[in-house]
Amino acid sequence: MDHDNLRSAQGEEEGDEAFGAEDRERTRHVPGVPSIGGPLRPHEFEGQVVFITGLARGQGRSHAYGFASLGADIAGIDRCDDLATVPYPLANDADLDGTAAMVRKLGRRAVVEVGDVRDRVRLAAVVERVMDELGRIDVVVANAGIFSVGAAETLSPESWAEVIDVNLGGVWNTVQACLPAMISGNRGGSIVMTSSIGGLRGLLQCAHYVASKHGVLGLVEALANELGSYGIRVNAVCPTNVNTPMIHNVANYATFRPDLSHPTSADMVEPAKDMHLLATPWIEPEDVTAAVTWLASRAARFVTGIALPIDAGATTKVVN
């Protein structure tokens, strides 16, 4: 990450002075709220632990790198095995090892395990290990998710159940497993859930996915209300197409180009661009990471209960 534009040490001191004693007194009663806001600093998350699900590759790996580069130690899980209903290969053990190595190369600690977010017992065991080795959880990024396609009249019960159980149930399981550590720490904290533009609007050929991502936004609003008294903020990111295997697979290409027998990634580009106000067919994982780290940072210290689109204008675009 490029931190050249971050505030200098001199600027930090000036910001501290500008934020006076009366301002600090007004926020002192809020657990976990830092004394000042401002832009992200190079060591924004120094001393903190960030728990990320689905961190072996894609958005999850990008988030792990982003937080570690800003000073955080990283913990989390990834399934590292395929699912029969998902039309693309999922991450594997080597991917997870690669994420851990990337974090450690930055001089940060990594406690990562193979685990399925649907498995509450496994999640509890991993959280226990994280607390034993790292001693705290400050930020939770409930990122693990899957995607599959199917028309409403033919979508299998298995496809429906797996998407709902991973994308919605897994988010709930993750948050509930981490909450005791966050609350007992009495330092506040941040929870960021991965929704989608499919959590803000309907999409074709994936009713189960849209339902799961709408459900995530319901959790955000409910938990933001419930956890605010602990100084724990709860938000969601809602990305458009992200340049990962979740969109780069034959089943998804066919939803963009049903007129072709064997569509490819190149065939998807123009219709994917047409979704957006900005001229891109998809965004990069790092674009989502920038939003996630901001939401978890002091710069967003009074931001809670929101669904932040990173969508190149997809949800705003008027289609005549």
Catalytic residues: 209
The side-by-side arrangement of strands in the sheet containing 232-239 is 110-114, 73-78, 49-53, 139-142, 189-194, 232-239, 307-310
To the nearest 10°, the Cα dihedral for 180, 186, 188, 193?
Answer: -10
61, 96 Cβ separation under 8 angstroms: no
Q: Round to whole Å and give the CA distance between 127 and 129.
A: 5
Please tell me the distance from the alpha carbon of residue 150 to that of residue 133, in angstroms, as a whole number: 43
Rounded to a whole number of angstroms, the distance between the first and last alpha carbons of the chain is 39
Helix ranges (DSSP H) in 32-169: 58-69, 93-105, 120-134, 157-164
Distance (Å, rounded) from C-alpha 271 to C-alpha 284? 18
In the block, residue with structure tokens 């602990």 = 230
